[in-house]
Every structure is written in structure tokens, then in C-alpha cells.
């Protein structure tokens, strides 16, 4: 496999009133496992179901109910760990994180603090072709989601919907290796892409199935490098955590606001207080939500209802053997196999469905580069106009491959190909048949082109004189011939014949 090498992007520097500052960001991403049943009960995880219709006695924390672990969820977390090249811990355990919340009937969340299922991994965060940052993943643990309190349905009452209670989340914790707002968004984008390739989380941020807590601090240039070498957090500034972000744009805006807020505090001689903050997109500011709790505030302890989770290496190996080709490998293969630019390969592999579609076109057309051009420029452009996804494309890979083949064999010109594409897009049909039926085939018969050129030269003596004095004007004749042939003449042949006949 081709190994693409990367330069590290520069960290974002913000100039304060006194001096320069750099950003340091660490993310805790909560990804909902794509499972039909919850982590410790058989209740459904269906999104948008009637409130409180997907709640088992376990989820409602009825006395005496016992959690039973869902093997499928564990498998998805292991798959995710392997996809992030992480260490899988064959022995892990569940802890209770105690706190009160109206939508948490147990009075605690089952999580994994001391012994997470997945240890250290990594994510290559792409910035632009040839530039990427390797962000280290510290751990991935499994935990339950809480329910939802609804405050805006009634003026006097609040409601609680427990459908989400007990749904399996993977918390993916990064090291503070992210160095700017764009990198933070790119990190979430890449993580989401990998999860979707693996099929372990659908990545739907709008539904809250993927959301990020963003930890932000600022430091003087050079401090991060000291941390990186020593793992000593004392080199870094105090961080604030911005909770529950589910939009790439807001993640960037919140980080930028928060960094500037901290810089203003530090430059005026104050101290940043470690706390949890909320981002308000309407005002574009972060607001204090609560001071940061320490682990002991939650009185974590091993959940006595659950045995430690022991899994076998053979099972892990089997899951690993069945991993799909992941984005980095696919991108590198597209560059190598089809001769694509890294940029085009990134666009095509951003989404698995796009990548699959492209590969089918490339195979059918026998030309990966031309196929990539048509998929990216024509098809994606056209789909975007109507806000359609690739799954909704009215043009099938086989149809697009046929169009590309017609161009490749010089049967139609590039211009006619665009018309043909539009016909296939709006009316459907077999491209080859359409070309024959509507007489779109390019005229490569030089006799016919010569006749057309002769006719136009004879009818326009003044233009001939001008073109002979200034060869740049020969283009006018080419245009006339194209017009006369309804755009079907092979432009290359027309050019040659015009040049020859004018004696240029």
C-alpha cells in the first residue's frame, strides 16, 4: 500500500495585547453505538419513538432489576478501538458514577473509569493534502446515556423522556493534541468518518448520536512541546470544558471565543478557573455552567451488579480480521490504483457510499481519473443542487460509466457528454442508446468536417483575411463549424482542419 506522508500543520496562534498565545484542545466525543438494543437492557433504541415507549424496568431503575450486558455493543466498541489502532483491554470493568438528575432514575450512570475497554490509539487528522496531525486517543470506554428533560412543552411543568436512558455510548477521549479550531472540527470529521466506515455509530450529529465535549486551554508558544515530551500537564494552562457540542461550525466558534476569553483573563493578571461551560450560538459566547467536579465528587465505585468484562484475544482477532478498509487506506489506494490526486481521493473517500459509487464507475469505465472527474464535478455538483445524497442519485454507476466510456472512445465530445448526462439525469435511459437515437455521436469523419470548413471559408472571405493576419482569430472558424454541426464535430479534428485550410 502507498504510504502518504504528511507535514504537521502549524498551531493556531492568537496575538494578545501583550504577547502571542497558542491553543491546546482535547476532546471527549460521545458516540452512540449503532445497536437496536440498549447497553444493559433489551429495550429499543429507536430514534423519535413515542416518549417513554422504549423503557424497560432496568432503564426505569425499578428496585431489584439487574443489568445484563449487550454483547453486540461490546463488539462495536472493540471494533471502534481496532479501527483507531488502539489497545484492547481483555479485562475491563464497570463503575458507578453517582449523581442526581431528574432524567437519571438510577441515581448513577454506569461507566468505566478505572479500567476502560479500550486503551491508547490514534487518529490522523487531515487538514489539506500533505498536511495532517496525528492526535493520540487516550482511551475509549463504554457508558450509558441519560434520559431527556423537556422544559419547553408546558409553562408550569417539566417532562422526562426515558427513551434514551441506558443507550450505549462510547466515550472517545483524546489527548490534548489538537492545536486550533479548524483542527478540532477536522478531528471530529475524521473520527465520524471512521465510525461510519466501521458501522459502529451512524454519526448523526443532529440527532445527538455524536457529540463532543471540548476542552480548551491556552499557553505560551513552546509550552505544548514540553508537555508532549514529558506528559506533564503542569506545562499547560488551565482548561475549560465546553459541553455537548453537535455542530462543526459551533465547535470552531466556541473554541475561538473561549481562547480569547482566557487570553483576556490571563493578560489582565487573572487566573482561568477550571469549569464546565456552555456555548450559546445566538450570542456566540460561552457561559459558566458549573465548576469542574472532581472524580471523587461522583463517588465512583465498581458496579456490584456487573462482573468484570473479560473478553478473549481470539474474539478480538476475529473482529480485527473482519474490519473493513478504512478511510486512510482507501484514500492511499485510490491515489495508487487510479492515479488520483490526494485531494480527489479525499473527496471520494469522505463518505463510504461515495467511494463505493466511484469504484463502480471506475471499474465500468476502465478509467479511474476520468471517472473521478465526472463523479466529483458533474454528479456531485448536480446532486448538491437538489440537496440529494448519492443514494438518491437518479444516475446509476453503470449509466455514468457508460457516459465516461463514450467520452473515452471519442464517440461524443465533452460538451455533448454534459448534455447527455443531463438527459440521463432527468429522463433516465441507456446512454449509448440515447447517443444513437438522438444522433449525438461526434463527427470524426474528416470528409464531413472538411466540407463544413470549406463552406464557411468560402462564405467569409473577410474573416479569412483577418485570421491569416492574426492566427488567434482562427477560433472563430472553429466556432462556426461547431455550430454548423450542432456541436458534434470532434473539436480536435476541426482545429487541425481549420488551421490547415487557412494555411496558418
Binding positions for ligand ADP, rule: CB under 6 A: 24-28, 173-176, 215-217, 233, 236-237, 239
Angle (nearest 5°) at CA 30 between 328 and 228? 65
The one of ligand ADP, Mg ion, none whose footprint includes residue 25, by CB under 5 to 8 A per kind, is ligand ADP
The one of Mg ion, ligand ADP, none whose footprint includes residue 431, by CB under 5 to 8 A per kind, is none
The residue (of 292 and 466) whose beta carbon lies closer to Mg ion is 292
The residue (of 251 and 498) whose beta carbon lies closer to ligand ADP is 251
The residue (of 28 and 128) whose beta carbon lies closer to Mg ion is 28
Instruction: Decide: 266 and 302 in contact? Cβ < 8 Å.
Output: no
Number of residues that bind Mg ion (CB under 5 A): 1
- Find the shortest distance in angstroms from Cβ 215 to ligand ADP: 3
Q: Which three cell numbers stand for residue 455?
A: 463552406
Kindly give the pairing relationship between strand 285-291 and strand 275-280.
antiparallel
The residue (of 176 and 364) whose beta carbon lies closer to ligand ADP is 176
Q: Which three cell numbers stand for residue 174?
A: 483524546
Instruction: Decide: 363 and 208 in contact? Cβ < 8 Å.
Output: no
- Find the shortest distance in angstroms from Cβ 295 to ligand ADP: 7
The residue (of 172 and 403) whose beta carbon lies closer to ligand ADP is 172
Q: Which residues contact 238 (CB under 8 A, 6 or more apart)?
A: 217, 271, 272, 273, 274
The whole-angstrom separation of Cα 244 and Cα 122 is: 22
The one of Mg ion, ligand ADP, none whose footprint includes residue 91, by CB under 5 to 8 A per kind, is none
- Find the shortest distance in angstroms from Cβ 293 to ligand ADP: 8
The residue (of 45 and 80) whose beta carbon lies closer to Mg ion is 80
Q: Which three cell numbers stand for residue 1?
A: 500500500
| CB closest to ligand ADP, residue no | 26
Nearest-CA neighbor of 141 among 97, 194, 204?
97
Task: Please give the helix or strand (H or E) that residue 275 lies within, else none.
Answer: strand 275-280
User: Three-state DSSP class for 91?
Assistant: strand
Q: Which three cell numbers stand for residue 252?
A: 470552531
Instruction: Decide: 373 and 411 in contact? Cβ < 8 Å.
Output: no
The residue (of 59 and 258) whose beta carbon lies closer to ligand ADP is 258
- Find the shortest distance in angstroms from Cβ 84 to Mg ion: 18
| CB closest to Mg ion, residue no | 28
Angle (nearest 5°) at CA 100 between 97 and 102? 130
- Find the shortest distance in angstroms from Cβ 16 to ligand ADP: 17
The residue (of 260 and 418) whose beta carbon lies closer to ligand ADP is 260
The whole-angstrom separation of Cα 364 and Cα 371 is: 9
The whole-angstrom separation of Cα 396 and Cα 361 is: 9
The whole-angstrom separation of Cα 215 and Cα 277 is: 10
Other beta carbons within 10 Å of 100:
7
The residue (of 78 and 272) whose beta carbon lies closer to ligand ADP is 272
- Find the shortest distance in angstroms from Cβ 120 to Mg ion: 17
- Find the shortest distance in angstroms from Cβ 273 to Mg ion: 17
Spell out, one character per residue from 4 to 43, where the chain touches Mg ion: x when CB under 5 A holds, - when not.
Answer: ------------------------x---------------
- Find the shortest distance in angstroms from Cβ 362 to ligand ADP: 39
The one of ligand ADP, Mg ion, none whose footprint includes residue 12, by CB under 5 to 8 A per kind, is none
- Find the shortest distance in angstroms from Cβ 274 to Mg ion: 12
The one of ligand ADP, Mg ion, none whose footprint includes residue 176, by CB under 5 to 8 A per kind, is ligand ADP
Distance of alpha carbon 34 from the chain centroid: 17
Q: Which three cell numbers stand for residue 382?
A: 448536480
The whole-angstrom separation of Cα 380 and Cα 339 is: 20
Nearest-CA neighbor of 171 among 195, 193, 198, 207?
195
- Find the shortest distance in angstroms from Cβ 317 to ligand ADP: 29
Nearest-CA neighbor of 140 among 218, 205, 85, 70?
85
The one of Mg ion, ligand ADP, none whose footprint includes residue 23, by CB under 5 to 8 A per kind, is none
- Find the shortest distance in angstroms from Cβ 14 to ligand ADP: 15
The residue (of 239 and 405) whose beta carbon lies closer to ligand ADP is 239
Q: What are the backbone angles phi and psi of residue 170, rounded to the nearest 5°?
A: -105, 125
Q: What secondary structure does DSSP assign to 357-425, as a single string?
A: HHHHHHHHHT-HHHHHHIIIIIIIHHHHHTT--GGG-SS-HHHHHHHHHHHHTTSS-HHHHHHHHHHHH
Instruction: Decide: 207 and 68 in contact? Cβ < 8 Å.
Output: no
- Find the shortest distance in angstroms from Cβ 286 to Mg ion: 17
The one of Mg ion, ligand ADP, none whose footprint includes residue 27, by CB under 5 to 8 A per kind, is ligand ADP
Nearest-CA neighbor of 26 among 136, 139, 238, 176?
176
The residue (of 194 and 214) whose beta carbon lies closer to Mg ion is 214
The residue (of 23 and 395) whose beta carbon lies closer to ligand ADP is 23
* DSSP conformational letter for 332: H
Binding residues (CB under 5 A) for Mg ion: these are: 28
Amino acid at each position: 500500500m502507498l504510504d502518504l506522508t504528511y507535514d504537521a500543520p502549524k498551531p493556531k496562534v492568537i496575538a494578545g495585547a501583550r504577547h502571542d498565545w497558542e491553543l491546546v484542545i482535547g476532546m471527549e466525543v460521545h458516540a452512540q453505538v449503532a445497536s437496536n438494543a440498549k447497553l444493559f437492557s433489551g429495550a429499543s433504541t429507536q430514534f423519535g419513538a413515542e416518549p417513554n415507549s422504549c423503557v424497560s424496568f432496568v432503564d426505569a431503575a425499578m428496585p431489584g432489576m439487574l443489568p445484563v450486558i449487550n454483547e453486540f455493543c461490546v463488539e462495536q466498541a472493540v471494533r471502534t478501538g481496532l479501527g483507531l489502532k488502539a489497545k484492547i483491554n481483555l479485562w475491563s470493568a464497570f463503575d458507578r458514577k453517582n449523581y442526581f438528575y431528574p432524567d437519571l432514575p438510577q441515581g448513577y450512570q454506569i461507566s468505566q473509569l478505572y479500567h476502560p475497554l479500550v486503551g491508547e490509539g490514534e487518529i490522523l487528522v487531515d487538514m489539506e493534502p500533505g498536511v495532517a496531525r496525528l492526535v493520540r486517543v487516550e482511551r475509549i470506554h463504554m457508558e450509558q446515556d441519560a434520559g431527556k428533560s423537556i422544559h419547553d412543552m408546558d409553562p408550569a411543568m417539566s417532562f422526562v423522556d426515558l427513551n434514551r436512558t441506558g443507550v450505549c455510548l462510547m466515550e472517545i477521549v483524546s489527548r490534548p493534541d489538537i492545536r486550533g479550531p479548524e483542527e478540532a472540527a477536522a478531528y471530529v470529521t475524521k473520527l465520524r468518518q471512521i465510525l461510519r466506515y466501521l458501522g459502529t455509530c451512524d454519526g448523526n450529529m443532529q440527532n445527538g448520536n455524536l457529540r463532543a465535549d471540548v476542552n480548551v486551554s491556552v499557553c505560551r508558544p513552546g509550552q505544548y512541546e514540553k508537555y508532549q515530551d514529558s506528559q506533564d500537564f503542569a506545562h499547560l494552562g488551565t482548561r475549560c470544558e465546553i459541553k455537548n457540542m453537535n455542530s462543526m461550525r459551533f465547535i470552531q466558534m466556541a473554541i475561538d471565543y473561549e481562547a480569547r476569553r482566557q487570553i483576556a483573563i490571563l493578560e489582565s493578571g487573572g487566573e482561568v478557573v477550571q469549569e464546565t461551560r456552555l456555548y450559546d450560538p445566538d450570542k456566540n459566547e460561552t457561559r459558566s455552567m458549573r465548576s469542574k467536579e472532581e472524580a471523587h465528587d461522583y463517588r465512583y465505585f465498581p458496579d456490584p451488579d456487573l462482573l468484570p468484562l473479560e473478553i478473549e484475544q481470539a474474539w478480538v482477532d476475529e473482529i480485527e480480521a473482519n474490519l473493513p478498509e478504512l478511510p486512510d487506506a482507501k484514500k492511499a489506494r485510490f491515489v495508487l490504483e487510479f492515479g488520483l490526486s490526494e485531494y480527489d481521493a479525499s473527496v471520494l473517500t469522505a463518505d463510504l457510499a461515495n467511494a463505493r459509487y466511484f469504484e463502480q464507475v471506475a471499474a465500468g469505465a476502465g478509467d479511474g481519473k476520468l471517472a473521478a472527474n465526472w463523479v466529483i464535478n458533474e454528479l456531485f455538483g448536480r446532486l448538491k443542487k437538489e440537496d440529494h445524497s448519492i443514494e438518491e442519485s437518479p444516475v446509476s454507476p453503470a449509466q455514468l460509466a457508460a457516459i465516461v466510456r463514450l467520452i473515452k472512445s471519442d464517440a461524443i465530445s465533452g460538451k455533448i457528454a454534459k448534455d447527455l448526462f443531463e438527459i440521463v439525469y432527468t429522463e433516465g435511459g441507456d446512454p449509448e442508446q440515447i447517443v444513437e437515437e438522438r444522433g449525438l455521436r461526434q463527427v470524426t469523419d474528416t470528409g464531413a468536417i472538411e466540407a463544413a470548413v470549406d463552406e464557411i471559408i468560402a462564405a467569409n472571405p473577410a474573416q479569412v483575411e483577418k485570421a491569416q493576419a492574426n492566427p488567434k482569430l482562427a477560433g472563430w472558424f472553429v466556432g462556426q463549424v461547431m455550430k454548423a454541426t450542432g456541436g458534434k464535430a470532434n473539436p480536435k479534428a476541426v482545429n487541425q482542419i481549420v488551421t490547415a485550410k487557412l494555411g496558418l
